[in-house]
Amino acid sequence: MKREKSLSRRLSVRLFLQMIATVFLFTFGSVAAYMILLMVFGMFVWQGDEPIYVLGLWVRARQDILGLLYLMAGYIFIVYHYWSKPFHYLQDVIDASKIISSQDDRLAELSPALSDLETQLNQIKVTTLASQRAAKEAEQRKSDLVTYLAHDLKTPITSVIGYLTLLRDEQDISADMRKRYQNIALDKAERLDDLINEFFEITRFNLSHIELNRQQINLTLMLQQLISEFAPMLQEKGLSVSLSAPEGIVLKCDPDKLQRVFDNLLRNAVNYSYENTAIQITASPEGDHILLVFENNGDTISEEKLSRLFEQFYRLDTSRGTRCGGAGLGLAIAKEIVELHGGTIKALSADDIIRFEIYLPS
């Protein structure tokens, strides 16, 4: 509000000074022109009957009233000109507002006197268009993911039904084959569970606000428990996890929410690690903060992809299966949780190393 008042005040002062300057120049110019005409008129020898001479004498005899009328007409024109300027500016602003509210890429163009306002209006339009495009892209990605997940639900359901039907109908099936069918049905059921959970993730992320319930926890113990829970997933790819953290690091946080962050980071490390490699997790106090690092060996992530890792619905590798690639919400939610704790999270990658660093206030 203060800026708008300052702009209108500057514009008023500018118009007033311009009007005073114009009145002065008009008055001075008129007097100078009259004096020059008298001087030129006196340079000639007149016979007395020339039309110009007669007209000159007529004007000379009435110079006071004619001069007054001339100056009054000039002053009225000048006042009208500067009085009407704000209305022209207002019309410019009205026209500009139509351009600003339009959905195209046109920018407003105002009079030079309104250059500051022109810049502000165009900044508003550029920001609004960028926000609208980002929202539209996010909505499109969400729509695509929902469609993809809904379509992908059919496959595990069909497989589960098919193998359970075989187990029911085939009475003489061998023990090995029965076990194989059971394992396949269980695997498909787990995939179905993952898909349904992703639907819940999308719903929760858009319809609820994350609130923290802070408690004091033993961070080292939390990380140890997390690693033990991932033992089956680690074994499948021949991975190992090493934890480097002092005993008894105390952290005041929401343990359930923070567990979700660590779970997501370790799951990503497992999914994107080379087989038979090691994942390193470190936690170290640094002043009044704690630094946590999740590091694994995997394909180097480009700078462009690193800059988008924490976007909603962004998936690092869309060619991966749903169970591996996820809905693209995990890191976006992790970032929100970390920032709600007053911390920061960033991703780095170089030389086949993927590294996530989290700073949390202790």
CATH code at position 171: 1.10.287.130
pLDDT tens column, 40-75: 877 877 777 778 877 877 877 888 898 889 889 999
Q: Which of 312, 306, 346, 316 is nearest to 329 (CA)?
A: 312
The residues near 298 (Cβ < 8 Å, ≥ 6 apart) are 269, 272, 273, 274, 352, 353, 354
What is the domain range of residue 157? 136-207
* 237 and 357 fall within a common domain: yes
The winner for highest mean pLDDT among 5-19, 51-65, 69-83, 123-137 is 69-83
* Residue 127 within a domain: no
* Residue 108 within a domain: no
pLDDT band at residue 354, thresholds of 50, 70 and 90?
A: very high
For residue 287, give both structure tokens: 């002043």
> What distances in angstroms separate CA 264 from CA 224, 230, 325, 333, 341, one per listed residue?
15, 11, 12, 9, 17
* 260 and 283 fall within a common domain: yes
* 283 and 355 fall within a common domain: yes
- For the ranges 27-36, 77-86, 196-205, 241-250, which has the lowest average pLDDT? 196-205
Number of domains within the chain: 3
* 88 and 8 fall within a common domain: yes
Verdict on whether the full-model pTM lies above 0.75: no
Q: Give me the pLDDT at residue 150, please.
A: 65
* Residue 173 within a domain: yes
The residues near 341 (Cβ < 8 Å, ≥ 6 apart) are 212, 253, 254, 258, 360, 361
Q: Is 245 helix (H, G, I), strand (E, B) or coil?
A: coil
* Residue 130 within a domain: no
Whether residue 258 contacts residue 264, with contact meaning beta carbons closer than 8 Å, is answered with no
End-to-end Cα distance, the chain: 41
When the pLDDT of each residue in the chain is averaged and rounded to a whole number, the result is 81
Q: How far apart are CA 58 and CA 66, in angstroms?
A: 11
* Residue 201 within a domain: yes
* Residue 269 within a domain: yes
* Residue 97 within a domain: yes
Could you give the percent of the chain with pLDDT greater than 70? 85
